[in-house]
Structure 1
Amino acid sequence: MATAVVSGSASGIGAAVRARLEADGFSVIGVDIRDAEVTADLSAAAGREQAVAGALDAGGGTLDRVVVCAGLGAHVEPIANIATVNYFGAVDLLDGLLPVLGNGTAPAAVAVCSNSAQMAPLDDHPLVKALLDHDEAAARAALDNGGDGFIAYAGSKMALGRAVRRRARTWGDAGVRLNAIAPGPVETPLLQGGREHPLYGEAIKSISPPLARLATPAEIAEFIVLMLGPQAAYMHGSVVYVDGGHDAELRPERF
């Protein structure tokens, strides 16, 4: 039986990915702060080490798929945890599991980014640089010096997308495909928390993608499973927008 690791497996997109993989016959090792085979706090370095060690132990030396879904929205406080969970909680798990993924059958991984990464001029923001430099102290300092929840969220997702692309050669050499998906708003507990926030709620409620509805977790999970499977065997190092046309509407001349 093939084995997959899914972070953020207790709710939202992660729970939907877990259900979809299990329906395909996978044994799934969930990683989350609660209700998972491996419980860990991904906002802390020790928690991320615990997550990697737990997943490696549960996998017994072989893994075939990894999906890093765990994430925090712009409304969560302290805002530094948004960046540490969304970025370090993803890349530390990916990098820590790569050697064992290389032993798997048609191994592949997907990181969940966001179309929010392109909604603000963050290309040269100190937060993005600090994250890509893997400097957690500098990332926290960047947010202490004028950051807010949206910068933490969008900046961490931008950095994660870049991290996936930067790993194309290394992961390809290891025989493991790595891609990212960038959804728009998805009907999850995370989104509902944002809707209820006094600062971000109205902006979130006003989002209306060209397809005139928001995605369900199951729809995003379906595409993630496609990206992991043999139909996508030549997809590698890509960041794919699955957002009902939202990014295309906001940036029609850039892709």
Structure 2
Amino acid sequence: MRLVQLLAVLACALGLAAFLGESSSATASATGGCVSDADGNGYTYAGHQANVAGHGIRATITPSRSLSVAAGHVAGWVGVGGPGQGANGEDAWIQVGIASVEGTAPYLYAEFVRGGRQPQLILLDENLRTGVSRRLAVLETSAQPGSWRVWVDGRPVTKPIRLRGSSGRWAPIATAESWNGGGSGCNMFAFRFERVSVSFGGGGSWRPFVSGHRFLDNGHKLQSLAEAPALGGSYASEPSGSSPLPYAFVASS
């Protein structure tokens, strides 16, 4: 699919994102184990929210099997904020992740909402391969509190994005998401999250993620791979061995 066509598709598929609404009301349908949302908006989730507010979140995210989208989209992402979380109760958030919509190969994207306006989508990379990891982060800047940047594979890929009322207020999120448009389409996904971390200061002061809340709709699965160290210690500069680095989990349908 050509870039201009893909951007048009993504604007429709992701621009209506509910961003973690009431996912606990979803149920598994009687046929094929597909998940449907009792609220009718089609959004379901499998992931975690940190137990503390932070100044950023990072993770290595891998689509660990082929993403199958019957309708809408699937995504694995990290981010902060949400509906009504900005200044004066406005919608405000920023996220970065790997996603796929019906009829497209997986792609890398960033999305932000500010001032209660419509979501803004940034396409960062196309035609991603199953099993290939990307290091993704959303991080508040130290020079401009309340301004955030998206990072991919260790480098910034956006300019600072100002989100009023955000500094030090939001508990970061790492989750998989499926949206089937409120219909009966059955979307399938598996995302592996490793080295999930929360920044305790602008510009990056990383500590292992500790889950304070779990998003898990019926029919989805969360498999813990590695918990945070008991004392929340810092990571080594390079991973050693084949074991996943905490915090690590797999979210799948």
TM-score, reference length from structure 2: 0.29
Greater helix share, structure number: 1
Tell which has more relative contact order, 1 or 2 (C-alpha 8 A, sep 6+). 2
TM-score, reference length from structure 1: 0.29
Greater strand share, structure number: 2
